[in-house]
Amino acid sequence: MTDLKAKLGLNVFKPLPAPHIKIRAGMERDPRLKAAVRGCPAGLYSVNEKGEFVLAIDGCLECGTCRIACGTEVLEWSYPEGGAGVQFRFG
Amino acid sequence: MEKFDVIITGAGLAGLAAAYTLAGEGVEVVVLERGDYPGSKNVSGGRIYVNPVRDLFPGLWEEAPLERAIVREGATLMARNRSFTFHYTGSELRTGQPQSHSILRSKFDRWFSERVEERGGMLLPKTLVSDVIRENGKIIGVIAGGDELRADVVIACDGALSLIPEKAGLRSPGRAHDNAVGVKEIIQLDPNLINDRFSVGDGEGSAHLFAGDITKGLFGGGFLYTNRDSVSLGLVISIEDIAKEEAAGDIPALFEAFKARPEIEPLIRGGTTVEYGAHVIPEGGYRALSRLYGDGILVAGDSAGFALNLGFTVRGMEYALASGHYAAKAVIEAKKAGRYDAATLAAYQKFLEDSFVLKDFQTFQDTPRVLSNPHLFGHYPELVGNLLRDLYTVPAGPKSPIFTTLRRHLTLSQLWTILKDAREVTKI
């Protein structure tokens, strides 16, 4: 996991004023979020000690996998505002 | 309130192609891009085939910042502990205009956007389009950065998630079944080292695809493309499969395992990773396409679902460029008619049907289903690997006859399975 953090650290990220993706209130234990834990390329989804899914938005690559995998009933999903978030130099 | 002839959402290849064509005809067009600059939010595997789009953009290709001309193709079946590789090269790949190049989108898109601006197209970076504006069922503009911007027509080129067509009511949210996730590292390497390791000359490149155990039996595969002074190493996996199959593990771990394979590691040894990107890729083919037009709106590129995986070739960028171009053509006709309703904009679909874009999608409409056969990602790589192991092994004692070795692997039930799968393959 530290390797992944280091790898994400290679990217250019501009600060996110607010999280652009949120687990909807009451959906923290929804099993559909398991797919995001496995599918998120940045490893941003995990399960906390209370057994709830949590999302740490820093390092988000804005790839869209979690929206497709979990759906918008579970996730409140939008892109960050203009000029924020990851800025690919190679693409 | 600002009013334009045409608003394009997203400065990727589709959006820029549409803007380039429109600006060339003197149409007032603005491209809204949420990134700091065009290309800053775009991730591609990194390989473009120029032939289908060469004549749509005359003069563009000579100067374009492409990486290497692909003169060497490779494919590897990855079993758990062994692999089978073939390479193809030919004088046809090394003479005349190259058919395909590796490409880094952040560089290319930025350059392409400058060509759009030279023609008088307007570009607004750092501007997120959050919604469409609808009036009497017709799309009349967008909400961008909190402001209302109006236009005669909106061309949605917002990429694979296709949020703008979804807001415009042209499609439902993308399904896991129709999408894959691609992850990629850009690994910097000395250009001479690239030439030596991949058996290519200066300016020449290799493209290599991998399938099998690297995705733990899930639909998908790996790719390795050589750029000028880096390689693009990536892994693509079906979102439906990664969601379903717990045993496969997670995407970052699968990618690290792929990188560490003995087939890959020596090729990237000593390289420096400089970027890690990821993106959703449409994989549903013809049946998963979005509706392509509505009142006051057209959809192009990934946003429409224009990406096509045929196993040996994985293409999206030519479809993005061409669909953007034809969307612009339809807008130019609509402008002449002075009407932007769905019936007028339907000309776009006709252009696409008459071009390689929808012809390809129709021809290959069964391919996504055939390629999703799990045998291709587990069973066959193992079978081929085991067969080769036994053919190449020299035991301490006497070696069995070749035919006995073949029959040990290719039993009747095995041949029956192959026959059944082969019958499906006739549909691709």
Confidence of residue B348 (pLDDT cuts 50, 70, 90): very high
User: What does each of the 91 residues of chain A score in pLDDT, given as a tens digit?
Assistant: 558 999 999 999 999 999 999 999 999 999 999 999 999 999 999 999 999 999 999 999 999 999 999 999 999 999 999 999 999 999 9
Task: Kindly list the residues from chain A whose CB atom is less than 8 angstroms away from the CB atom of residue B42.
Answer: 88, 91
Question: Each residue of B182-240: pLDDT tens digit?
Answer: 999 999 999 999 999 999 999 999 999 999 999 999 999 999 999 999 999 999 999 99
- Whichever domain contains B272, its CATH number is 3.30.9.90
As assigned by CATH, the class of the A2-87 domain is alpha beta
Please report, for the domain that includes residue B328, its CATH number.
3.50.50.60
pLDDT score, position B136: 94
Q: Which residues of A touch B106 (CB under 8 A)?
A: 88-91
One domain, residues B26 and B159: yes
Chain B, residues 153-192, CB within 8 A of chain A, namely 160-161, 163, 173-176, 179, 181, 183, 185-186
Q: Which of B323, B354, B385 is the last residue of a domain?
A: B354
Task: Tell me whether B51 touches chain A (CB under 8 Å).
Answer: no
Domain ranges of chain A: 2-87
Over residues B386-401, mean pLDDT: 93
DSSP string of B97-150? Answer: S-SEEE--HHHHHHHHHHHHHHTT-EEE-S--EEEEEEETTEEEEEEETTEEEE
Question: Is a pLDDT exceeding 70 seen at residue B38?
Answer: yes
> According to the model, what pLDDT value does residue B289 have?
97
In chain A, which residue's Cα lies nearest the Cα of B67? A90
A72 at interface of B, judged by CB pairs closer than 8 A: yes
- Cα–Cα distance, A78 to A80 (Å, whole number): 6
**B:263-282 residues touching chain A, CB 8 A cutoff:** 273-280
**Residue numbers of the domain that contains B316:** 2-67+103-171+290-354
E strands present in B168-219: 179-188, 204-212
- Interchain proximity B242–A69, CB inside 8 Å: yes
What does the pLDDT look like over B290-322, one tens digit per residue? 999 999 999 999 999 999 998 888 899 999 999
B33 pLDDT band, cuts 50/70/90, is very high
Give the pLDDT confidence score for residue B311 in this predicted structure. 85
Instruction: Report the share of chain B in percent with pLDDT over 70.
Output: 100
Residue B244, pLDDT above cutoff 70? yes
* Nearest CB to A11; choose among B108, B249, B275: B275
Let me know whether B17 and B112 are in one domain.
Answer: yes
Backbone φ, ψ for residue B167 (5° rounding): -65, -30
pLDDT for residue B324 is more than 70: yes
User: Chain A contact for B64, CB < 8 A?
Assistant: no
Same domain assignment for residues B261 and B345: no
Phi first, then psi: what are they for B188, rounded to 5°? -75, 135
Cβ neighbours of A34 in B, within 8 Å: 243, 246
Distance CA B325, CA B18 (A): 5
Q: How confident is the model over B135-171, as pLDDT tens digits?
A: 999 999 999 999 999 999 999 999 999 999 999 999 9
B22 and B156, same domain (yes or no): yes
Q: Is B249 on the interface with A (CB under 8 A)?
A: yes
User: What is the pLDDT at residue A2?
Assistant: 59
Closest chain A residue by Cα to residue B162: A64
> Are B153 and B182 found together in one domain?
no
Rounded to the nearest angstrom, the minimum Cα separation between A61 and chain B is 6
Q: Which helix (H) or strand (E) holds B9?
A: strand B2-9
- Dist CA B87 CA B181 (whole Å): 26
**For residue B424, what pLDDT is reported?**
86
In the block, tokens 């009511």 appear at B169
Please indicate, yes or no, whether residues B34 and B139 belong to a single structural domain of this protein.
yes
B7 and B140 part of one domain: yes
Same structural domain, B271 and B300: no
CA atoms within a 13 Å half-sphere pointing along the CA-CB vector of B319 = 26
Q: Do B242 and A10 touch (CB under 8 A)?
A: no
Q: What is the pLDDT of residue A64?
A: 98
Q: What is the pLDDT of residue B2?
A: 80
pLDDT band at B425 (very low <50, low <70, confident <90, very high): confident
User: Is B9 within the bounds of a domain?
Assistant: yes
Q: Is residue B274 part of a domain?
A: yes
B75-129 pLDDT per residue, tens: 999 999 999 999 999 999 999 899 999 999 999 999 999 999 999 999 999 999 9
B47 falls within a domain = yes
B350-368 tens-digit pLDDT: 999 999 999 999 999 999 8
Pair B239, B327 in one domain? no
* Residues B341-350, mean pLDDT to the nearest whole number: 98
Out of A35, A41, A83, whose CB is closest to B252?
A41
pLDDT of res. B312: 83
Contact check, Cβ <8 Å, B43/A88: yes
ipTM: 0.97
Structural domain tally of chain B?
3
For B69, residues 6+ apart whose C-beta sits below 8 A from its C-beta are B98, B100, B101, B203, B204, B205
Chain B contact set for A83 (CB, 8 A): 34-36, 125-126
Tell me: do B187 and B163 sit in the same domain. Answer: no
The answer to whether A15 contacts chain B (CB < 8 Å) is no
Q: Are residues B161 and B307 in the same domain?
A: yes
The burial of B307, by beta-carbon neighbours within 10 Å (0-12 exposed, 13-18 middle, 19 or more buried), is given as: buried
Residues B204, B258 within the same domain = yes
For residue B280, which residues of chain A lie inside 8 Å, CB to CB? Answer: 63-65, 68
Q: Does B105 contact A37 at a Cβ distance shorter than 8 Å? A: no
Q: pLDDT value at position B332?
A: 98
